Amino acid sequence: MVGAGLSGLVAATNLHGHDVTVFEKSRGPGGRLSTRYADPYRFDHGAQFFTARSPAFQRFVASLIGAGVVAGWSPLLADIDGDGITMSDPWSGNPHFVAVPGMNCLGQYLAANLNLMRQAEVKAIHRDRAKWNLKLADGTSAGPFDWVIAATPPAQADGLIGHYFERTTLVKCQMQACFALMIGLDEQPRLPWQAARVHNSPIAWICQNNSKPGRAKVPAVVVHADNDWSDRHVDDDQAEVRYVLLEEASRLIGVDVSRARHVALHRWRYAKARIGSNIGFLLNQKNKLAACGDWCMDGRIEGAFNSGLQLAQSISPASSD
Ligand SMILES: Cc1cc2nc3c(=O)[nH]c(=O)nc-3n(C[C@H](O)[C@H](O)[C@H](O)COP(=O)(O)OP(=O)(O)OC[C@H]3O[C@@H](n4cnc5c(N)ncnc54)[C@H](O)[C@@H]3O)c2cc1C
């Protein structure tokens, strides 16, 4: 398995009867379900929350709530457009969930019983006597394996296994970027909202991260830039991006956050699928190659889960959810 994001972890967990090794290029599991530590602050700088609509994901979320890894989150939510602020309650009746005490805890929980190779970036794969061998970024090799599954965004999957699939499927699934600004304050800003969807601005989302359950009560704000805006500025000088987002965040929060105790910018080059593909997963049974991920579904956490689960069930039909 290449990639320890949610789709890869779920697929690995459900590949019953297979001896699975997960290769992850980062230091920890979780992928875009991530939390940045900058003491005393904690920022969920990737995925913010999730809903559960499909029965399989609802059962999964219920089990995670039982294990204390997931909890409901109902922030005071605003829509901001220009100077207008409208409080809204669109989330009632449709529970929203977060991992606790940080979004990264979900990946850590799922990876606990898996054979996970950290800081192990897979650079290439090659076939030898009906088995797959992996070439890693540090120059070492791994294998032989029966199957290779790319549980990565499509550009990375394309580089590894694209040769064995109709390339248009992978290339058509375009991902959008997102800049995440993390702001650690000395005092909690006095705002009528804990999370805001922002319209007609370089910023699309602001969240008082410490309003989520299980977080320390230290004022930590996460700002996400608009995806189209991020795409236009993805290769710009990051100091300029940071300046623009800090100015706009200061206006929206009503505090000069450029003077905050902690400020950091993160660029997600592959944040979100522009349009979900709803193909479920990619499978080449003859060559024993496959791909899964949010981009195979609707581009969200629930889609990543369902993609990984459905792929595992089709490789190991005895799998259950
Ligand atoms: C800023 C942001 C906000 C979001 N907000 C939400 C939200 O509020 N709600 C929601 O439902 N979704 C949200 N999402 C989307 C959500 O995070 C994803 O849908 C989901 O986490 C994708 O899981 P995945 O397993 O498909 O991919 P990923 O989480 O991207 O996992 C892929 C993994 O593969 C690893 N990898 C890649 N290439 C290699 C390689 N060559 N070798 C080894 N490892 C490799 C990566 O390091 C990564 O860990 C957000 C995403 C971002 C970035």
Instruction: Provide the residue-wise pLDDT of the chain in tens; the chain has 321 residues.
Output: 999 999 999 999 999 999 999 999 999 999 999 999 999 999 999 999 999 999 999 999 999 999 999 999 999 999 999 889 999 876 767 899 999 999 999 999 999 999 999 999 999 999 999 999 999 999 999 999 999 999 999 999 999 999 898 766 777 788 999 999 999 999 999 999 999 999 999 999 999 999 999 999 999 999 999 999 999 999 999 999 999 999 999 999 999 999 999 999 999 999 999 887 889 999 999 999 999 999 999 999 999 999 999 999 999 876 445
Closest residue by Cα to atom 48, ligand 1, is 31
Q: How far is C-alpha 264 from the chain's CA centre?
A: 18
Centroid of chain to Cα 137: 23
Q: What secondary structure letter does DSSP report for 311? A: H
121: left (phi over 0), alpha (psi -120 to 50) or beta: beta
The reply to whether ligand 1 has any atom less than 6 angstroms from the CB of 118 is no
Contact 288, 132 (CB under 8 A): yes
Whether 150 is in the pocket of ligand 1, judged by its Cβ within 6 Å, is no
Does the Cβ of 117 fall within 6 Å of ligand 1?
no
Q: Whose CA is nearest to atom 27 of ligand 1?
A: 5
**pLDDT value at position 29?**
98
Q: How far is the CA of 32 from the centre of ligand 1 (A)?
A: 3
Residue nearest to atom 12 of ligand 1 (CA): 300
In contact, 30 and 102? CB cutoff 8 Å? no
**Ligand 1 neighbourhood includes 156 CB (under 6 angstroms):** yes
- DSSP for 198-267, please give it: EESSSEEEEEEGGGSTT--SS-EEEEEE-HHHHHHHTTS-HHHHHHHHHHHHHHHHTS-GGG-SEEEEEE
**Is residue 104 in contact with ligand 1, taking CB distance under 6 Å?**
no
Query: What integer pLDDT is reported at residue 319 of this predicted model?
Result: 47
The answer to whether 99 and 209 are in contact (CB under 8 A) is: no
32 C-beta closer than 6 A to ligand 1? yes
User: Using a 6 Å cutoff on CB, does residue 288 contact ligand 1?
Assistant: no
pLDDT value for 277:
83
pTM to 2 decimal places: 0.96
Cα 82 to ligand 1 centroid, rounded to whole Å = 31
Residue in 88, 93, 283 with CA at minimum distance from that of residue 199: 88
For ligand 1, mutation pick of 45, 152, 269 (most atoms within 8 Å of CB): 152
Q: Are 20 and 114 contacting, i.e. CB atoms less than 8 angstroms apart?
A: yes
Instruction: Give the distance (Å) from ligand 1 centre to CA of residue 268.
Output: 9
Q: Compute and round to an integer the Cα radius of gyration of the chain.
A: 20
Helix (H) or strand (E) holding 131: strand 131-136
Question: What are the respective helix, strand and coil percentages of the chain, to the nearest 5?
Answer: 30, 30, 40
Lookup: tokens for 240: 């300029």
Are 210 and 219 in contact by the 8 Å Cβ rule? The answer is: yes
* CA-proximal residue: ligand 1, atom 34 (nearest): 3
Can you tell me which atom of ligand 1 is nearest the CA of 270?
Answer: 53
CB under 8 Å to 146, separation ≥6 — which residues?
18, 131, 132, 288
State in Å: Cα 190 to ligand 1 middle: 32
Burial class (CB in 10 A: 0-12, 13-18, 19+), 170: buried
Predicted pLDDT at 110: 98
